A = this chain, B = another copy of it.
Amino acid sequence: MQQNLSDTVVLLGRTPPTLNALVRDLPDAWTRCNEGDDTWTVYDVIGHLAHGERTDWMPRVRRIFEFGESRPFEPFDRIAQFHESQGKTLSELLDEFAHLRSKNLTELQGLNLRRSDLERRGQHPSFGSVNLSELLATWAAHDMTHLHQISRIMAHQYREAVGPWSKFLGVLHCSGHSASG
């Protein structure tokens, strides 16, 4: 299916309450453990999502409107959370993410995008020309990538504990599919 703006906005609005319901005030055993060397904890993922709200999605939407393809997007720092989250609790990161997401969706809806706007093009710093529709679809799919990752990080903590059931649990056979999950 093609990106549908109202479906995208609805899904983007679901991620903060979903993450609140899933991980707020969970024991550290679920949120502060990772999948081994150089992998992320749930806490790291929430910091990454908050960073994306500040520097990635809406700034790129604005750049498409302001500069089209003449000025590439700023590269997204996919590990910024390792310094930006320092000193913050998981609850603070969840609040920050929810606040920024809500602000960004208000701004997006204020643009009153028309179908023709979705064809506007911008320049990705590594793979070149993209359009606004692809950027918005990616924003939603990026949330799903990290929900996929969070469910896998938490399941990993019980990798041994499930004993012989491990072969039936798909999530335990997923080793991640990209640098960030």
Which residues of A are at the interface with B, using a C-beta cutoff of 8 A?
1-4, 6-7, 10-11, 14, 17-18, 20-23, 26-27, 29-30, 33, 124, 127-128, 130-131, 133-135, 137-138, 140-142, 144-145, 147-149, 151-152, 154-155, 157-158, 160-165, 167-174, 176-178, 180-181
15 pairs across A/B with beta carbons < 8 Å?
A2-B161, A14-B21, A14-B22, A130-B163, A130-B164, A140-B158, A141-B155, A144-B155, A145-B155, A145-B170, A148-B148, A148-B151, A148-B155, A170-B180, A170-B181
Looking at the assembled complex, report how far the CB atom of A40 sits from the nearest CB atom of chain B, in whole angstroms.
Answer: 11
Contact A27 B3, beta carbon cutoff 8 Å: no
A158 interface neighbour in B1, B10, B26, B158, Cβ under 8 Å:
B1
A169 interface neighbour in B23, B135, B172, B178, Cβ under 8 Å:
B178
Contact B164 A170, beta carbon cutoff 8 Å: no
Residues on B with C-beta less than 8 A from A2 are 160-161
Residues on B with C-beta less than 8 A from A151 are 144-145, 147-148, 151
Residues on B with C-beta less than 8 A from A181 are 170
A130 with B165, Cβ < 8 A, contacts A7-B30, A155-B148, A181-B170 known: yes
Looking at the assembled complex, report how far the CB atom of A137 sits from the nearest CB atom of chain B, in whole angstroms.
Answer: 4
Residues on B with C-beta less than 8 A from A158 are 1, 3, 137-138, 140-141
A22 with B18, Cβ < 8 A, contacts A141-B158, A155-B144, A158-B137 known: yes
